[in-house]
Amino acid sequence: MPAPTPLTPERPPAIEASSLHKSYDQGKGRDPVQVLRGIDLHVPPATVFALLGPNGAGKTTVVRILATLTEPDSGSARIAGHDIRTERRAARRALSLTGQFAAVDEKQTGAENLRMMARLAGLSRPAARARAAELLDRFGLTDAGDRLVATYSGGMRRRVDLAAGLVGDPEVIFLDEPTTGLDPRSRRQMWEVVRELTAQGTTVFLTTQYLEEADELADRVAVLHEGRVVADGTAAALKSRVAGHRVDLTLTDAAAYTRLAARATHHSPETLTLGIPTDGTARHVRALLDELDPHGTEVATFTLRGASLDDVFLALTHTTPTTPKAPAHV
């Protein structure tokens, strides 16, 4: 992963946000829904920044505000040094937004899609043709460039969609769940594309439901919960904040699961499994098992594993765990 580009007076932070608030009116005398409750972000150039959060946490609203599609109720933000309110046109020239679903014309070829976007960006016909050829090569689509996009695989469509977003050579690109619905091979191909973008100086702002993806790609990770950033740092730092390791306990019955659920950062009521933070040493694991199951009757099996961003996510966005259902009798 490339090292973050040092900040200079000539190159400000790629993204800055301070105290962003946003509410939506529900109408009919109901109170407004507070979506963002004071968001602060700082993203250096040529890095990957991942924003995580459960559904409804406000991720899409953050992206829409930073991409100048929605105005905040209060607060400020800059993209590549340009204020999103007072310098909106300059901010828009500096960014590109790629949504969850490929927005390409299936009735055109890959090359035609890219040439069309280049012309819309103001390039001449020769320059648009050259830019399209350059991007097809960059994304490994040269051989498929003259095929209709309707014949492309899901991964190829995502790549041509991302290529279209790079026609104007933006400094910042927002990727809203870019690998949703892709098979594992296509996902990893997209990861390579993201790494290449940052290596060439582009800043990538990523939202994703795949925590492995953020762990793999992001220089920094922020966790959004109930409209607030509840954690911001490197993946390694966030993991150490929760725990270095986790011991997964499979309990013997629902009563034991319910009794110990409050101690856990990971909950699986279907399998009666709880994940408990530990430092990973044999001494601490033995002491933890003795503490949690002093009579040796409630823990059926246990597994020690390293902490992941899943643990961070679940710990920081924790809600009351689901009570396990009684086993069905057949």
The full set of domains in the chain, from first to last, is 15-239 (3.40.50.300), 241-316 (no CATH)
- Is 98's pLDDT higher than 60? yes
Predicted pLDDT of residue 302: 94
- Is 291's pLDDT higher than 60? yes
Predicted pLDDT of residue 145: 94
Say if CB 73 and CB 133 are below 8 A apart: no
- 325 pLDDT band, cuts 50/70/90, is very low
* Average pLDDT of every residue of the chain: 86
Distance between CA atoms of 269 and 149, rounded to whole angstroms?
A: 44
Please tell me whether residue 190 adopts helix, strand or coil conformation. helix
Comparing CA positions, the residue from 173, 234, 246, 182 lying closest to residue 209 is 182
Query: Mind listing the pLDDT tens digit for each residue in 1-14?
Result: 444 445 444 678 99
Predicted pLDDT of residue 112: 95
DSSP symbol at 148: B
Say if CB 82 and CB 51 are below 8 A apart: no
Predicted pLDDT of residue 326: 42
Please tell me whether residue 234 adopts helix, strand or coil conformation. coil
Predicted pLDDT of residue 3: 46
Distance between CA atoms of 156 and 289, rounded to whole angstroms?
A: 49
Mean pLDDT along residues 20-47: 91
